Amino acid sequence: MRMRRKKNLNDRLKRVSSLIVENPTEKKGSWAEHLGSKPIHLEIGCGKGKFICDMAEANPDIFYIAMEKVANVLVAAVEMAFENNLSNVLFIRGDAALLSEYFAQGEVSRLYLNFSDPWPANRHRNRRLTSKGFLKMYSDILSQDAMLCLKTDNRPFFDFSVAELKSCSWEVKNITFNLHGLLSPDEQVNSQPQSEHSIEGADNGACTPRYNPIGGAVTEYEEKFSSKGVPICRLEAHPPSN
């Protein structure tokens, strides 16, 4: 179902336009010049902005760029950064498929994929943000010592991502199926995939994480799912050597 356009969307976007990069293709290859040579950390699909804003506030020496293609969602994230007077975060309204048009080789030092759409149907596997085509783009824009960080509550998507990363010669490490420690060791081994639609009414271990020393800031989805006892999967991966 198509999302209803938010009231006064254009006026709201205009008010926070100083934090939105209107023509990211013009910054390609020169982001460092505009951002004071700080390392760039990129989040694809920032949602309402909790993760990126918390990370920017906690790490002033890093510059964060968040991408979101849905204006109705993007506006909430930009407003959060604007109202918190964050000076080390910018936003791009764009599609991940255009990443190579926005960033040159080696410009990004960390990439965050938080609760990406799992596109469960096999016919849509190439739309998954960890499919081979996207991984090739990421390896092009990431620096040699860069890292990709993935978090999701969707175990099939996570398993697919691990397999796809390894098949593309990425170094995958620090894999966990239980980021917030909600499961016992036996439950971790036997944990089944869960999603927002399969946990209605669940209450198998309350947890309201705010910041995790391993996973960093917590997203809106992560907070919601963990409070219902849903385990969060996470991994880190380094791109293959060129």
Burial of 213 from C-beta contacts in 10 A (0-12 / 13-18 / 19+): exposed
Contact criterion met (CB below 8 Å) for 65 and 92: yes
Please give the backbone phi and psi of residue 118, each rounded to the nearest 5 degrees, phi first.
Answer: -75, -10
- Identify whether 153 is a catalytic site residue: no
113 membership: H or E segment, kind and range: strand 108-114
Contact criterion met (CB below 8 Å) for 49 and 81: yes
- CA separation for the pair 74, 45 (Å, rounded): 9
Among residues 11, 61, 117, 140, the one annotated as catalytic is 117
| Structural tokens at position 176 | 């966990």
Give the residue from 179, 171, 127, 126 showing the smallest Cα distance to 155: 179
Residue 64, amino acid: Y
Question: Residue 140 CB: number of other CB atoms within 10 A?
Answer: 17
- The end-to-end CA distance of the chain, in Å, is 42
DSSP assignment letter at 18? G
Active site residues: 117
